[in-house]
């Protein structure tokens, strides 16, 4: 549900109200009972996820090469000690 900002024209009290989009705007201040008006808000920020939406997707190739050079190289995968001991136990039987 959207959050709407209101301001009382009598006392100046500002408050937020969670209302559905189809709901009628509030008309009464919860503090003094005076008339209120809905304020125009900045709205919520959008967050796009997925390929092509991140700022780093559009970095220059020089930046990407430097970033790749800064990453530590991965260690080779280690053998699973449990698997190795299970194989040895099966060979012994």
Q: Is the pTM of this model over 0.85?
A: no
Residues 18-71 pLDDT 10s: 888 899 999 999 999 999 999 987 666 676 666 666 666 666 778 778 878 888
- Please give the pLDDT value at position 54: 63
Strand 14-18's sheet: what is its strand order? 14-18, 3-8, 36-39
Lowest mean pLDDT among 13-17, 22-26, 74-78, 84-88: 84-88
In whole angstroms, give the CA distance from residue 47 to residue 42. 15
Whether the CB-CB separation of 20 and 1 falls below 8 Å is answered with: yes
| Span of 3-12, 33-42, 83-92 with lowest mean pLDDT | 83-92
């Amino acid at each position: 549900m959207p959050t709407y900002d209101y301001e009382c024209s009598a006392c100046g009290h500002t408050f937020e109200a969670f209302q559905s989009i189809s709901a009628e705007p509030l008309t009464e201040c919860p503090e003094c009972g005076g008339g209120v008006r809905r304020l125009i808000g900045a709205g919520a920020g959008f967050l796009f996820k997925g390929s092509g939406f991140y700022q780093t997707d559009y970095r220059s190739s020089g930046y990407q090469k430097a970033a790749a050079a800064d990453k530590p190289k991965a260690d080779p995968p280690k053998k699973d000690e449990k698997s190795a001991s299970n194989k040895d136990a099966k060979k012994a039987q």
